[in-house]
Amino acid sequence: EPFTNSFNKITTANLSVVSDNILWGITGPAEGTRYKIRYERTLDFYHRSVSYWSVSFDYRKYIPLSKRISTAFRLAGGMSVGANPKRYFLGGATNWIKNLNADQEVYNVGNLYFSEVITPLRGYDYYEIGGKKFFLMNLELRYPFIDYLITKFPLPIFLSRITGALFWDMGAAWDDN
């Protein structure tokens, strides 16, 4: 087991193909397509090194329905194989603020350094689903929710351009077929 020693030397290399032609709106991407296909591999420069290779993809499409209403679609997936395959953890949403109760599997050395957290999978906690292979699909309808909100009492508050989203997330991570 390569992680039993407290000192390891590990080298990884990545090769990615990326395309991005999105146009930004006030709160995020509003129109266009972006994708990334990535191949990652450990390079065995050192004796008893960690060994794996992985391939993943992330495709996103943003379609405007009107000037301020749009849809967002995402399809992502990946897999890792080898003597010490990396793990993918699904769950939560980016910048989610809450207490985290993850199991010990997340905190082993291999997962701390050679794993990926894939978000969003709303309705699940961070790290709730994990495996050597993953699939994720997100669909959102983004719309204006509050244009302007002004209060005087008890505090003077001015809020503007608050958007809402209806979403559907579907994802899975697994180890075996």
Q: Does 76 score more than 90 pLDDT?
A: yes
Is a pLDDT exceeding 60 seen at residue 6?
Answer: no
Q: How confident is the model at residue 19 (pLDDT cuts 50, 70, 90)?
A: very high
Q: Residue 175 pLDDT > 90, yes or no? A: yes
The predicted pLDDT at position 128 comes to 85
Q: State the average pLDDT for the chain.
A: 86
Residue 4 has pLDDT above 60, yes or no: no
Residue 140 or 103, more confident = 140
CA distances (Å), origin 63, targets 13, 57, 74, 79: 34, 20, 12, 29
Give me the pLDDT at residue 80, please. 95
Contacts with 1 (C-beta within 8 Å, 6 or more apart), sequence order: none
Does pLDDT of 101 surpass 80? no
Closest CA to 39 of 54, 52, 51: 54
State the Cα–Cα distance between residues 120 and 92, nearest whole angstrom: 6
